[in-house]
Amino acid sequence: MKHIAPYLTQDDLIEAVRRAGPILRARGIGLITPHLDRARLPEAFAAILAVEPEWARGEGLAGIVGDLDPDQADQAIEAAVAIRDPAHRVHTLAGMLPDLPPDRRPAVLDAALLAATGIPRAEDRAFALVTLAEGLPAAERGPALQEAFVVIRKDRAEGRWLSRLIKLLDGYEGRRVVTRNGI
């Protein structure tokens, strides 16, 4: 979709999205939003909010949030926080973080960390936390890294997550996280 989007009219872009199934619609909207007129974004956003299953809606929300105005971005965050499955909620919020203004990231990060605590399987929880940390700028990784180290240590999650986390550590702060958590 993203390869042909520059060659389509605005009406053709919207029609292609309408004709797609829900999963392709959610993914496709995120790919075409750079080619949509700002006036058409509310229509695309409304289409994402209507997508089921909710994991696909989450992918669409993460793909479009950076193109939305602040009020719509707030609605997208609210829709992401309302996703019932905590793993899908973490991945949606993690996907949104890089496209949010820096002043919005702490609250969304907190919501993602809170959602991660609701993931029942330790391995899935560790994966979600590692994914979350990987998507953050180095300066903002501290809370996600600390929570991930606690999960890995407490639940004895697989070592592969620990090795991925260690690669994310940056200087002294990262060493303090490791030392504080006894790893």
Model pLDDT for residues 117-173, shown as the tens digit of each residue:
899 987 788 888 888 888 888 778 888 788 777 777 765 555 666 677 777 775 435
Q: What pLDDT does residue 159 have? A: 63
End-to-end CA distance of the chain: 45
DSSP 52-105: SSHHHHHHHHHHHGGGS-HHHHHHHHHHHHT-SSHHHHHHHHHHHGGGS-TTTH
Look at 19 and 107; give whichever has higher pLDDT: 107
Percentage, residues of the chain above pLDDT 70: 86
